[in-house]
Amino acid sequence: MINNIKIFLKGIRYKNIIIALICCVLAASKLNALNYISTLIPISIVLFLMMIANLANDILDIKTDSINRPNRPLIINPSLVQYFKIAILIFTILAIGLSFFINLKAQFIVIGSVPLLILYSKFFKSRPLIGNVFVAFYLSLVFIFIEIAITNSIDLMTVPAIFAFGISLIREIVKDIQDYKGDQASKIKTLPILIGIKPCIYFVNFLIICFLLACGIIMLDFYFFYYIATLIFIVFMPLFYLIFFLIKKPIIKSCREASALLKKITILGLIIIYIT
């Protein structure tokens, strides 16, 4: 029983859930909404939607995960597939049910997102770049959704959403390079399979440069020296290092390290944006 619970926690990606929870709390705090119990509803919805997407992804990706990630829950214990499906149904009911307690704009996002998140692995993931954009968009949508659900408008969360989209798009393509062998065996046409590993890594470097330029433009609106210095030290310098690291070693193994670094940059970058 305890072992099954551990496997289930791995299935919902509990570490990512904790990170998402922190991001949601930071966003709500930025909106000065932590004193209202109603804030818990949109945050809970976000977490349920993430769990739905992660569990559905594990079910639909059993073949590729057997090569790319043999430690995935359903690879270790395939008998849990039925339990994962039941959990998806329960989380879907909870997410949609809770959406009736928020405004119509936010409710529309929830109801529209559920089928798309479930079908992502089957229809969008195998589309070169489209699947990456899809995931990055939904990760950035978390901030927009929280603000719409709490204030019924979009204003303060625009910058965090743009940051999350840019860094997530880069990381998703890097993860596709990391999963090259399994995706190739499963005949999934991701970007690295379509254009090759090295050209894809060069494309990632191009995206990093574009992201840095975009961040630089946004920084022009800030005149707080310590904010700019911190952003340069925590976000810009690691990304510049990543460019040279990937150019020097344009191989799959390098992308595993790059993916881990990008995850840390995302968390630290969002915290900095929150502080401002």
Looking at 81-157, list the stretches that DSSP marks H as alpha helix, in order from N- to C-terminal side: 81-99, 104-119, 130-151
What is the structure's pLDDT at 206? 93
By C-alpha distance, which of 198, 205, 209 is closest to 252? 198
- Token pair 């993916």 is found at 259
Instruction: State how far the Cα of 159 lies from the Cα of 4, in Å rounded to an integer.
Output: 40
Q: What angle do CA 225, 226, 228 make, to 5 degrees?
A: 65
Taking each helix axis from N to C end, the angle separating 2-11 and 81-99, rounded to the nearest 10 degrees, works out to 60
Query: Is the model's pTM score more than 0.85?
Result: no
**DSSP 8-state class, residue 234:** I
Looking at 179-251, list the stretches that DSSP marks H as alpha helix, in order from N- to C-terminal side: 180-185, 191-195, 197-219, 225-231, 237-248
What is the structure's pLDDT at 161? 86
Question: Are residues 129 and 122 in contact, defined by beta-carbon separation less than 8 angstroms?
Answer: no
Question: Which amino acid is it at 7?
Answer: I
What is the structure's pLDDT at 222? 59
Instruction: State how far the Cα of 199 lies from the Cα of 70, in Å rounded to an integer.
Output: 27
Instruction: State how far the Cα of 258 lies from the Cα of 254, in Å rounded to an integer.
Output: 6
Instruction: State how far the Cα of 75 lies from the Cα of 81, in Å rounded to an integer.
Output: 10
What is the structure's pLDDT at 114? 83
- Averaged in consecutive runs of 10 residues, what is the pLDDT profile of the chain (276 residues)? 71 80 80 70 91 84 72 76 88 92 90 81 75 87 89 83 87 86 78 88 91 79 62 79 82 79 78 63
